[in-house]
Amino acid sequence: MPEAAAQPPAPAKTATKSAPQKAMEKLGLVRDIDLALHLPMRYEDETRLTPIAALREGEAAQVEGVVVDCQVEMRGRRQLLVRLKDDTGTLLLRFLHFYPSQQKQMSGADRLRVRGEARVGFFGREMVHPVVKVVDETTPLAQSLTPVYPASAQLPQAYLRKAVASGLARADLRELLPEGVVPRGLPPLKDALHYLHHPPPSASLAALEDHSHPAWQRLKFEELLAQQLSQLQAQRERARLVAPALQARPGGLHEQLLGALPFQLTAAQQRVAEEIAQDLARPQPMHRLLQGDVGSGKTVVAALAAAVAIDAGWQCALMAPTEILAEQHFRKLVGWLEPLGLKIAWITGSVKGKARQKMLDAAASGEAQLVVGTHAVIEDKVKFARLGLAIIDEQHRFGVAQRLALRQKLKAMALEPHMLMMSATPIPRTLAMTYFADLDVSTIDELPPGRSPIVTKVFTDSKRDDVIDKIRMAVADGAQVYWVCPLVEESEAVDLRNATETHEELAATLAGTKVGLLHGRMSPADKAAVMAEFSSGQMRVLVATTVIEVGVDVPNASLMVIEHAERFGLAQLHQLRGRVGRGAKASVCVLIYTPPLSDTGKSRLKAMAETTDGFEIARRDLDIRGPGEFMGSRQSGAGLLRFADLQEDAPPLVAARALAPRLLDEHPAAAQRQVMRWLGTKAEFLKA
């Protein structure tokens, strides 16, 4: 049954919402169930009193006493000083910021109960800005630990506590799940929530704070089950849609392309290409993720999939997040497919005027069998005659709306295109089981033969001159070098050496060596010219920003220097490192950092130095950043798990994953209520 809307306590009778009401809506606290599921981040113990004489330095405690004195004094600044006395001693309460009403409240009180952190000052024991309550000798102590909720500046804890208590009392917390499916030892949902909002004084704070308490485990299981049900529903809904069945024919483009390639596919490439071909042959839309480490050869697998679609009389679109990456794909695909008689269109934001119109006409008429480009491919003006396959590279860098836009391109024919998403950021198993549970995943888990191992070295910026000497030696030995900088121009906010300055420095230091510069603010034509020179070997050193992060393939480049490496994310560092090691020559990646390093910075550089395995890098990246950041643009998915931890909660995840199909088949109404209770409208995001 739908949840009733949350009603904050005693709302003002006014047409406009108060600041706390607006703040609650911003936090998503709209329904009663939203309030019931808004759990404390920590607790305060207001169930007991500590004698003033027993207060310990630095510890939070609650004391009660008689007001001895209350006055404003000038001690460098105006301060409200209140002296409190119990049978064991005296405590000074110090308020550096206060309202006249607070002074009036405390000066008129006989007895106060205060909670704060004790410290020993020049005038004895004191608390600065404690929480204060006017009481008398009959005022009872709290019967449970006091919750402290995630809030905002506009949302006072007192208001939020009343709202949560009110929502918790009204929320429909009936058991939705059939008997016997909840893991043993876990309490009913209603009991679990009441316990977490109002734990008894005897509760283990450690078990509450590390979320190991059975009450927490029940919530994690419920949340994971809702998420798994939602993914499974999306998968089944997609299976009911109709897509063109794309069958590879004997002797067709697929076989012709395989025969024309100047290399043999690895066993892993052959396996995933077959998985994709089987999906394309079905009349249901493929929804497959092709993942593989940097340099594992995903593009040729995508080309084989495109050949199957085109051979069956349909078009294919390939969309990449940056123009440089899209152009790399374009060049490779032109080299492989044009000799077979295929026409490929190129659509990006930089293609203008008549050239753009020509490409649009070719896509709309079906003359262009393959369309390659950036997000410009999904613009309304881009029409396809028969789009059968959409390929999205680095899919995590596109949002839900952009992926859905590609799927709409066949709407007029009441069909869905097949979707192949590619990622060079391998997805850890727990992420694949949760956020990507509705995807079929193909993994290229081996690199093509002949790739050289990459040695990663870490230096402080004090060794910069030594690194430049190494570049001089590498260039003399015939190698090519990347030098990556985080910024293009000076920023007053961040003191980093920029690409332009580094280019000038290296050009002067490496006299006689051609040093190029590549950054995102250059025109597409200038970028292409620089890359052409570097690819041909005329340019020996390329200073660049992260525009070379993915897709750039120059086998002769064997040395990579990344400056201010501590400023890059782990996945980004691994992607950049993957620009070398693409040929037979031994390759080195040098990470230069500026001390002091944060703990996160140390963890990233340590991981880079210890492993080149993209799956291990991904696992550590998830540890460091958490799922929200790791997911990139699929933030709709990242916000779906609030309580479960992907690293710690594999057992409830496995249990929820096993239960979801059974629940959906045997108790569909209960399954739907479970999804709505936990996800509400967020479940729609999973359909992309």
Mean pLDDT calculated for residue range 64-68:
94
| Cβ atoms of 529 and 503 closer than 8 Å | no
Structure tokens belonging to residue 674: 């479970």
Determine contact, residues 231/634, Cβ cutoff 8 Å.
no
pLDDT of residue 40: 93
Comparing 387-391, 449-453, 613-617, the range with the smallest average pLDDT is 449-453
Residue 685 has pLDDT above 50, yes or no: no
- Residue 630 scores a pLDDT above 70: no
The pLDDT value recorded for residue 634 is 38
Amino acid (one-letter) located at 232? L
**pLDDT band per the 50, 70, 90 thresholds, residue 626:** low
Closest CA to 396 of 276, 568, 571: 571
The confidence score (pLDDT) of residue 378 equals 79
Mean pLDDT along residues 83-99: 93
Beta strand segments in 327-366, E:
344-347
Amino acid at 154: Q
Domains and CATH numbers, the chain: 19-44+147-210 (no CATH), 52-141 (2.40.50.140), 253-444 (3.40.50.300), 454-611 (3.40.50.300)
Q: What is the pLDDT of residue 489?
A: 57
Lowest mean pLDDT among 493-497, 533-537, 554-558: 493-497
- Calpha distance 221→207 (Å, rounded): 17
Position 496 scores a pLDDT of: 55
What letter would DSSP give residue 622? H
Is pLDDT above 90 for 132? yes
Confidence of residue 637 (pLDDT cuts 50, 70, 90): very low
Neighbours of 249 (CB within 10 A): 11
H or E element at residue 220: helix 214-239
Q: Region 618-623: what's the mean pLDDT?
A: 78
Model confidence band, residue 396 (pLDDT cutoffs 50, 70, 90): low
pLDDT grade, residue 647 (50/70/90)? low
Q: Is the omega angle on the peptide bond into residue 596 within 30 degrees of 0, that is, cis? A: yes
CB 382 within 8 A of CB 376: yes
- For residues 538 and 480, give the distance between their C-alpha atoms in angstroms, rounded to a whole number: 10
- Average pLDDT of span 441-461: 86
With vertex at residue 511, the alpha carbon angle to CA 507 and CA 514, rounded to the nearest 5 degrees, is: 60
Highest mean pLDDT among 203-212, 398-407, 488-497 belongs to 203-212
SS3 645: coil
Q: Which residue has the higher pLDDT, 239 or 611?
A: 611
Q: What is the pLDDT of residue 681?
A: 53
- In sign, the C-alpha dihedral spanning 478, 482, 483, 487 is positive
Average pLDDT over residues 519-535: 85
- Per-residue pLDDT tens digits for 292-349: 887 788 889 999 999 999 999 999 999 888 777 787 788 888 889 999 999 999 888 7
pLDDT in tens, 42-54: 998 899 999 999 9
Share of the chain above pLDDT 70, in %: 87
Q: Are strands 124-128 and 111-121 parallel, antiparallel or unpaired?
A: antiparallel
- Report the range of poorest mean pLDDT among 191-195, 590-594, 638-642, 671-675: 638-642
Length, in residues, of the chain: 688
- Classified as helix, coil or strand, 315 is strand
pTM of the model: 0.68
**Positions of E strands within 96-171:** 111-121, 124-128, 131-134, 146-148
Report the share of the chain in percent with pLDDT over 90: 46
Q: Can you tell me the mean pLDDT for 204-228? A: 90
Extract long-range pairs of 656-662: CB within 8 Å, 24+ residues apart: 656/221, 656/224, 656/225, 656/227, 656/228, 657/224, 657/228, 657/433, 657/437, 659/181, 659/225, 659/228, 660/225, 660/228, 660/229, 660/231, 660/232, 661/232, 662/181
Who wins on pLDDT, 625 or 204? 204
Average pLDDT over residues 125-133: 93
Distances (CA, A) of 613 to 141, 341, 632: 57, 38, 20
Specify whether the CB–CB gap between 423 and 443 falls below 8 A: no
Is residue 102 within 8 A of residue 133, CB to CB? The reply is: no
Q: What is the mean pLDDT of residues 175-190?
A: 91
Is 90 exceeded by the pLDDT of residue 74? no
Query: Residue 432 — pLDDT band, cuts 50, 70, 90?
Result: low
* Reduced 3-state DSSP string for 40-104: CCEEECCCCCCCHHHCCCCCEEEEEEEEEEEEEEECCCEEEEEEEECCCCEEEEEECCCCHHHHH
Q: What is the pLDDT averaged over residues 389-400?
A: 71
What is the separation, in whole angstroms, between the first and last Cα of the chain? 26
Q: Give the sign of the dihedral formed by CA 566, CA 568, CA 570, CA 572.
A: negative
Report residue 284: phi and psi, to 5°: -110, 145
CA pair distance 7, 163, nearest whole angstrom = 7
User: How many whole angstroms separate alpha carbon 679 and alpha carbon 683?
Assistant: 6
User: What integer pLDDT is reported at residue 400 of this predicted model?
Assistant: 52
* pLDDT score recorded for residue 605: 94
Q: In which band, very low, low, confident or very high, does the pLDDT at 219 lie, cut at 50, 70 and 90?
A: very high
- Rounded to 10 deg, the angle between the 19-26 and 157-170 helix axes is 60
Mean pLDDT of 675-679: 86
Distance of CA 365 to the CA centre of its chain: 39
Q: Give the SS3 label for residue 134.
A: strand
Mean pLDDT confidence for 69-82: 89
608 pLDDT more than 50: yes
Mean pLDDT confidence for 209-230: 91
What does the pLDDT read at residue 399?
A: 52
The span from the CA of 68 to the CA of 53, in Å, is: 16
Q: How far apart are CA 129 and CA 86, in angstroms?
A: 19
- Of the candidates 688, 683, 685, the one whose C-alpha atom is nearest the C-alpha of residue 230 is 683
pLDDT in tens, 144-159: 999 999 888 888 898 9
- The closest of 82, 93, 87, 84 to 118, measured between CA atoms, is 93
Alpha-carbon span 150 to 480, nearest angstrom: 52
Which tops the pLDDT comparison, 222 or 615?
222
- CB-based burial label for 258 (10 Å; 0-12, 13-18, 19+): middle
Instruction: Please determine, for residue 679, whether its predicted confidence score (pLDDT) is greater than 90.
Output: no
pLDDT at 627: 55
User: What is the chain's mean pLDDT, rounded?
Assistant: 85
The residue behind tokens 């309580």 is 643
The residues with which 393 forms a beta bridge, in sequence order, are: 422
Quick one: pLDDT band at residue 551, thresholds 50, 70, 90? low
Yes or no: say if 646 and 226 are a contact pair by the CB < 8 Å rule: no
CA distance 379 to 385: 15
Would you place residue 433 in the very low, low, confident or very high pLDDT band (cuts 50, 70, 90)?
A: low
**Lowest-pLDDT choice from 158-162, 240-244, 612-616:** 612-616
Residue 490 banded pLDDT, cuts 50, 70, 90:
low
Phi, psi dihedrals of residue 507, rounded to the nearest 5°: -60, -40
